Amino acid sequence: MNLTSPSQVKAWCIERGFHPNKTLGQNFLVDANTLEAILDIAAVREGMRVLEIGPGLGVLTQGLLARGANVTAIEKDSALAARLAEELRHPNLSLIAADALDEIKKGTCDGYDALVSNLPYQAGTRILLDLVLRPGARPETMTVLMQTEVCERLAAMPGDGKKRGLAGVLAQLDYDVECVREVPPSCFWPKPEVGSTVAKLVRHHRNDNVPAAVRETFRALAIRAFEHRRKQMGSIFKGVMHSTLRPEQLTNEEWLALAEGLTEK
């Protein structure tokens, strides 16, 4: 089956009575140009240890293997996992039929060079943040196809208004985030109702020496602040700071300085 042919992908699903699951965010990439663009953006090379979450029918998996990557693919849907096990037998492929969120907690996703995925739309943000927040699971790069709105939130800088939020603050502690390429709905089957973008997150290592205790304070402060994002920081943290800025206006350096000061106390 040609996985970049919408008609063949649709026929395979119909023949087997398989219905893409909206709850799992199953929208299969069926565009060869976008596939190659993702592989190029990820700079996939021979021997690279790649984690793929939500491989679906395996179009990206095939591309990764063709470029010589060693791939671990985690698929939650049992029907798709069975298809991958049957059709994509390859010495450089390790397939795990499980929920990626569970596997991240178990440490299965630790130690990879890169994450390259068409992430499930419903769980994409949580998957990324779970990887970011777990020290051993932070790959050097993460190249992911995701909702445009989510990408914009992850990349948003101070002053970007409502786009700047908790997800971006947490991700940018360890990653530089860029929205690289927009992907139209016609590149998927079924066509999603939202816009899609290829995002690239590159680990910057500027905060590698930040202690775990400070990181935990950083996270707790950000969560609390964005629960009251319309308020000024001085109002949210009375007696601690007197800033008239709102949470989305602070830089990550300012968040980190606040966390360091409170952790020391």
Angle subtended at Cα 63 by Cα 101 and Cα 126, rounded to the nearest 5 degrees = 20
Q: How far apart, in whole angstroms, are the C-alpha atoms of residue 80 and residue 38?
A: 21
Q: What is the CATH number of domain 212-264?
A: 1.10.8
Calpha distance 172→175 (Å, rounded): 5
259's CB contacts (< 8 A; 6+ apart) are 214, 215, 217, 218, 221
Q: Is the pLDDT of residue 152 over 60?
A: yes
What average pLDDT does the segment 245-265 reach? Answer: 92
Within 19-90, residue ranges assigned H as helices are: 32-41, 59-66, 78-87
Task: Look at residue 23 in the predicted model and tell me its pLDDT.
Answer: 73
pLDDT of 12 over the 90 cut: no
Q: How confident is the model at residue 19 (pLDDT cuts 50, 70, 90)?
A: confident
pLDDT in tens, 43-73: 999 999 999 999 999 999 999 999 999 999 9
- With contact defined as beta carbons under 8 Å apart, do 190 and 160 qualify? no
Which helix (H) or strand (E) is 188 found in, with range?
A: strand 188-189
Name the fold adopted by 6-203. Rossmann fold (3.40.50)
Q: For residue 210, which of 176, 177, 248, 253 has the smallest C-alpha distance?
A: 253
Higher-scoring residue by pLDDT: 179, 121:
179
Helix-helix angle 32-41:59-66, to 10 degrees: 50
Distance between CA 41 and CA 62 in Å, rounded? 16
Q: At what angle do helices 252-264 and 212-226 cross, to 10 degrees?
A: 120
- Average pLDDT of the residues in 126-147: 96
What's the pLDDT score for residue 162? 92
Average predicted confidence (pLDDT) for the chain: 94
Residue 265 has pLDDT above 60, yes or no: no
CB 69 within 8 A of CB 44: yes
pLDDT tens digit sequence for 66-110: 999 999 999 999 999 999 999 999 999 999 999 999 999 999 999
Domain residue spans of the chain: 6-203, 212-264
CA distance 112 to 137: 7
Q: Are 191 and 236 spatial neighbours (Cβ–Cβ below 8 Å)?
A: no
Task: Decide if 191 contacts 237 (C-beta within 8 A).
Answer: no
In 92-232, which residue ranges form alpha helices assigned H by DSSP?
Answer: 100-106, 124-133, 148-155, 166-172, 212-226
* pLDDT confidence tier of residue 159, bands split at 50, 70 and 90: confident
